[in-house]
């Protein structure tokens, strides 16, 4: 018995360095959008506390392009060994309707880890636009037989919200997709586009500095840093509710215990008071959950997008 315990103890000592080395390997989080945008900002706010919990370095890697599909492909092809995570937004449920011929399937290539924020979108117009509320925007669109609006890209909440508003209001809104919310905000500030529907994170600074005018939120209720604005729902379109989110995914087949550890790390970050304050200041509502709850959100939103496409006839492939 003594000999057996010695052998087991020796084996544990030999295994311990390998285990510690595995846990201390840097974790790469792929963000499929450019630096400075909504997703990149949120992930970098979570990064310190998640790294603290996991006891290792977290490296944020921006891989923009193809509406997120390039970054998604990088993670889909990564081994499920706990060293790679994917950080995406609402577009995750839309991409399967847009992208054709991808070497991976969004539905099976990823394991949901946790939703970390809800991100209200807001309709904002340029400073000299001749309207101060949603009724005025609709009247101007009718007078001009349509107005252009920008969004962070095809299939984003901004794109979908514009299409739904145009359908329900009986107006024409010409969608101009940008590479991200920051690019759309710059054009709006410069007066190069009439309106933008994007995150509060991207547009609130323009409104605060009086370089643009806030009109209405796309969420069902007033929320976030621009809760002083009315919602589209309360401005004559009851039931209107489109809210984005950000969340973490792991490659499919990542072991359940590894997923659980990532869930706990995300919860550690979203429950940290300082991190919550910073997330709220950037226009996001912190969410603490797990992979199961996040999977339910994905199913709900995928069904909502299918209904919206059917109702509006919106094209998501161009």
Structural element, H or E, at residue 160: helix 157-169
Q: Find residue 20's DSSP bridge partners.
A: none
- For the cut 80, the answer to whether the pLDDT of residue 290 exceeds it is yes
Cα–chain center distance at 209: 25
pTM of the complete model: 0.82
pLDDT at residue 5 tops 60 = no
Per-residue pLDDT band for 23 (boundaries 50, 70, 90) equals low
Distances (CA, A) of 110 to 72, 76, 130, 132, 274: 9, 7, 46, 43, 30
User: Residue 234 has what DSSP assignment?
Assistant: G
Confidence bin at 14 (pLDDT 50/70/90): very low
Residues 120-242, CATH architecture? 3-Layer(aba) Sandwich (3.40)
- Sequence ranges of the domains in the chain: 26-118+244-310, 120-242
In the predicted model, is pLDDT for residue 315 greater than 80?
Answer: no
216 pLDDT tier (thresholds 50, 70, 90)? very high
| CA 13 – CA 295 distance, rounded (Å) | 39
Q: Taking residues 211-237, what's their average pLDDT?
A: 95
Binned at pLDDT 50, 70 and 90, residue 318 comes out as low
CA distance 128 to 211: 9
Q: What is the chain's alpha carbon radius of gyration, rounded to the nearest angstrom? A: 22
> In percent, how much of the chain has pLDDT > 90?
73
β-bridge mates for residue 112, sequence order: 249
**Burial class for 74, CB neighbours closer than 10 Å (0-12, 13-18, 19+):** middle
> Tell me, what's the pLDDT at 317?
64
Mean pLDDT of 55-67: 92
Q: How confident is the model at residue 6 (pLDDT cuts 50, 70, 90)?
A: very low
pLDDT tens digits, residue range 121-136? Answer: 999 999 999 999 999 9
Residue 11 confidence (pLDDT): 40
| Residue-level pLDDT at 279 | 95
pLDDT at 24: 67
More confident residue, 9 or 138: 138
Contact 27, 58 (CB under 8 A): yes
Supply the pLDDT for residue 15: 37
User: Tell me: the pLDDT tens digits for 24-48?
Assistant: 689 999 999 888 888 999 999 999 9
pLDDT greater than 60 at residue 287: yes
State mean pLDDT over 283-304. 94
* 172-181 residues labelled b (16+ CB within 10 A) or e (exposed): ebebbbbebb
Three-state SS for 123? strand
DSSP designation for 146: -
Task: Using pLDDT thresholds of 50, 70 and 90, give the confidence band for residue 308.
Answer: confident
Distances from the Cα of 9 to the Cα of 12, 14, 19, 26, angstroms:
5, 9, 15, 28
pLDDT digits (tens, 9 = 90+) for 142-193: 999 999 999 988 888 999 999 999 999 999 999 999 878 888 999 999 999 9
Topology annotation, domain 26-118+244-310: D-Maltodextrin-Binding Protein; domain 2 (3.40.190)
More reliable by pLDDT, 76 or 199: 76
Secondary element (H or E) of residue 89: strand 84-89
Cα–Cα distance for residue pair 203/196, rounded to 1 Å? 8
| Per-residue pLDDT, 17 | 40
pLDDT at 311: 83
């Amino acid at each position: 018995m003594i000999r057996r315990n010695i052998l087991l103890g020796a084996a544990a000592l030999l295994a311990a360095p390998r285990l510690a080395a595995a846990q201390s390997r840097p974790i790469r989080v792929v963000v499929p959008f450019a630096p400075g945008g909504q997703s990149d900002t949120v992930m970098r706010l979570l990064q310190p506390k998640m790294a603290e919990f996991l006891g290792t370095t977290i490296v944020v890697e921006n891989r923009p392009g193809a509406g997120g599909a390039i970054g998604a492909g990088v993670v889909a092809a990564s081994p499920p060994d706990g060293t790679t995570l994917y950080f995406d937004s609402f577009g995750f449920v839309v991409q399967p309707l847009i992208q054709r011929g991808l070497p991976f399937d969004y539905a099976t290539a990823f394991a949901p880890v946790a939703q970390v924020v809800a991100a209200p979108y807001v309709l904002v117009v340029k400073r000299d636009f001749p309207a101060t509320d949603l009724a005025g925007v609709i009247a101007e669109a009718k007078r001009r037989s349509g107005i252009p609006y920008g969004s962070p890209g095809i299939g984003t909440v901004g794109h979908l919200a514009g299409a739904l508003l145009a359908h329900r209001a009986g107006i024409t809104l010409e969608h101009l997709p940008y590479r991200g919310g920051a690019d759309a905000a710059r054009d709006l500030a410069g007066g190069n586009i009439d309106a933008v529907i994007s995150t509060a994170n991207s547009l609130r600074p323009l409104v605060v500095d009086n370089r643009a005018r806030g009109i209405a939120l796309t969420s069902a209720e007033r929320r976030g840093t621009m809760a002083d604005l009315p919602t589209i729902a309360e401005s004559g379109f009851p039931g209107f509710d489109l809210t984005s989110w950000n969340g973490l995914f792991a490659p499919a087949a990542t072991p359940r215990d590894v997923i659980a550890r990532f869930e706990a790390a995300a919860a550690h970050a979203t429950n940290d008071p300082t991190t919550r304050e910073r997330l709220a200041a950037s226009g996001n509502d912190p969410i603490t959950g797990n992979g199961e709850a996040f999977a339910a959100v994905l199913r709900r939103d995928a069904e909502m997008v299918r209904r919206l496409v059917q109702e509006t006839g919106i094209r998501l492939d161009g």
